[in-house]
Structure 1
Amino acid sequence: MRRSIAVLCVAGCALLPAGGAVTSCARPGSGTPVADSSDTHPGGVHPDATATATSEPPAAGGHPDFGVVPTREPIRTGAVTCQPTPRPPVGVNARVADPGAPVLTIAVPDGWSMQGGTGDIGARLSGPEQMSATVTVVATMLSPQAAFADYADRLAAGSSVSSLSVLPAELCDYSGQKMTGVLADSAGKATEFADRVVHIPTGSGNYLVSVHTESPTGVAAFDAASAELTGQIEVRIP
């Protein structure tokens, strides 16, 4: 079965005719950062969204640049940024093997369990009805937009059918995007996902942080659970 990617773009995208690729996506205001508006739109679809389809994931030059703000200067060692208010009742610290990587704290939905990870995986979480989440922190040499495009490409790799929507989701001035959609394997088994991806510079280098949540399609509780997991994320620079 042929794989296709449907990329949802907010107003301002220049698109080729049906069957073509996204050629450019410019934010309103000639590059002015766009605030995260993804959490307030039911179903994760922006009201101004339009769609196109391509046969392959978008390349870095065509990946939507929503949420791609200028990379901020590295924060001082020991600083804590993006502190949510109010703080979640239950949170998990996601810490990876790389001693220079940022340490994340994310909210844990009621009824979910959590455990630490290994390597580049900082934490794994499991919820009811086969819902799950994985927090990953990986060093990167790529710019924010190129890193997001590469992440989207790898996310869809191996799926016979894929759909992907991209929305702005900066995290306290760190470049970020929210990616949602459905992945299906060759047997037709479909998985819904909702990811928050953030580019974080530190004194040790740049890191791509992701909170990947997934569920079998049709699970009613997934929207609320994924929104909580991918919402405000506390970042501590070691």
Structure 2
Amino acid sequence: MPIPADPAVLYPDVVACGSLAAALRAEGRLGALPVTPSDSAPLLHATVGSTLPHREPLQISAWLHERRWSICGTEPFQGVPLVDGVTDELTEVARAARAWHDGAELDDIRQVASFVHLTGRFEVPEPDPARLTESEWQGKRREADELEYAWRETYQAVVEAAHAEPALRALYPFTSHWALRFSTTTRPRLTVVGPSLTAGSDGTYGVGSGFVTPDLGLFATPHEAVAVAVRHLPSGLGPVALGG
């Protein structure tokens, strides 16, 4: 593992300001914005609050081995990211921080700071489990579409087939080791229900009663796999509830 560089070497401008928070204020003319330095590593980490109650403070972190910064903006009910991104331009970070703070739409944040990546999830102002479930499905579909692995097409196919099935779309989706699974509650406390769906690099689709092993069968199409998964759902499932 590479030895982390001295922050004074990678970030002399930040060191001169005394903290990443102060450097952001200077770089972006952020004025009185709530930019908070990290207590443990003020040169490397800072957060920027938002005027919107359904946004957590934007997390900003400096890389240790090269001059870059990453951001992550999450929602408060589950702690899942709405936006993230990496850039080597502190001015761009400041622009994203200003837009996040001011309550700009997620698409507009991307417009003012081109490095910002939208996860696909949308903002849910109130802890509504149905909307949080819909948002998570949208995030899973975006994630599948953006994969760079060789088996992206098969994985995307099984995600889309599951989303097209009303019985599965009504459940909260999550993944573990790229196995698509389902819950009757949202994060942070998932309640796993039904089988898992997997996509193989050989073009087959698996259904498993447990974690990854396709003990319920391998199928040539994602629709066959989804049909089997639906048949193995327990009866009497109600609407998704808040997890915790």
Look at both structures and tell me which one has the larger radius of gyration over its CA atoms. 2
Scaled by the length of structure 1, what TM-score is found?
0.27
Structure with the larger helix share: 2
- Identify, as 1 or 2, the structure richer in strand: 1
Ranked by relative contact order (alpha carbons within 8 Å, sequence separation 6 or more), the top structure is 1
Query: When the two structures are superposed, what TM-score results if normalisation uses the length of structure 2?
Result: 0.26
